[in-house]
């Protein structure tokens, strides 16, 4: 049962990351607007898209799961503040939901970093 749960965790968190990459590819101005609103470069959309895609695929495949999960936890924590800023400036309640969701996902990533890939992975953790 543990291997099923770990595979499910990897797949579900991977969907969030790959979905973020697709969203950035289809509508980069959404993320770009958040970045510019914080005084950052719009061009940061592209490294974020690449990170989302690679991290999500690595989790799906079960490659370097522990370090990817740690980096994804940090990524979710950092990006949550973009949504908090939008919430504080616009009052949009959806942004607070995303802020909290990012912290929940960060927690899931940390649990995955501790547990590892499980047996059903291209490169299972030792």
Burial class (CB in 10 A: 0-12, 13-18, 19+), 96: middle
**pLDDT above 70 (res 75):** yes
**pLDDT above 70 (res 126):** no
Across residues 8-22, what is the average pLDDT?
98
**pLDDT above 90 (res 37):** no
**Domains of the chain: total:** 1
Q: What is the pTM of this model?
A: 0.93
Q: Does residue 125 belong to any structural domain of this protein?
A: no
> What percentage of the chain has pLDDT greater than the value 90?
93
The whole domain housing 88 covers: 2-115
Q: Does residue 96 belong to any structural domain of this protein?
A: yes
Q: Does residue 123 belong to any structural domain of this protein?
A: no
Across residues 81-101, what is the average pLDDT?
94
Q: Does residue 122 belong to any structural domain of this protein?
A: no
């Amino acid at each position: 049962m543990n291997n099923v749960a770990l595979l499910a965790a990897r797949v579900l968190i991977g969907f969030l990351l790959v979905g973020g990459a697709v969203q950035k590819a289809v509508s980069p101005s959404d993320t770009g607007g958040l970045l510019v609103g914080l005084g950052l470069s719009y061009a940061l959309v592209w490294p974020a898209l690449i990170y989302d895609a690679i991290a999500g695929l690595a989790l799906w495949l079960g490659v370097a799961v522990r370090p990817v999960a740690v980096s994804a936890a940090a990524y979710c924590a950092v990006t949550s503040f973009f949504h908090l800023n939008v919430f504080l400036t616009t009052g949009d309640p959806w942004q607070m939901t995303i802020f909290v969701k990012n912290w929940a996902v960060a927690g899931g990533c940390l649990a995955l970093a501790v547990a590892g890939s499980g047996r059903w992975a291209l490169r299972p953790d030792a």
